[in-house]
Amino acid sequence: MSASYIEPLDIKTIFINYFLGNQVLFPFAFVILISAICGYFQMSNKVFLIILVIGSVMFGQYLGEVYYMLVLFIVGFLIYKTFSSVFR
């Protein structure tokens, strides 16, 4: 039986495989984090929507399904609106 070692700076393996447990959760965590940061710092809707569209398209293609883009967009927009209204 061979042991597998993780490099100390292999952020992808450490964060995605061990912290999240599944590669599909990474795009959702990324969109939620970006939405929360944009809502906290009160970015304008136009700038946030550009960032959200780029992220949703990029990760929708990464996951290989078109409806993931819509789900990522909706989740990101709801998180942004929630955080922007809380931190006003």
How many whole angstroms separate alpha carbon 27 and alpha carbon 60?
8
C-alpha 20 chain-centroid distance: 12
In the structure, what pLDDT confidence band is assigned to residue 6 with cuts at 50, 70 and 90? low
How many whole angstroms separate alpha carbon 41 and alpha carbon 22?
29
In the structure, what pLDDT confidence band is assigned to residue 58 with cuts at 50, 70 and 90? confident
pLDDT of residue 14: 67
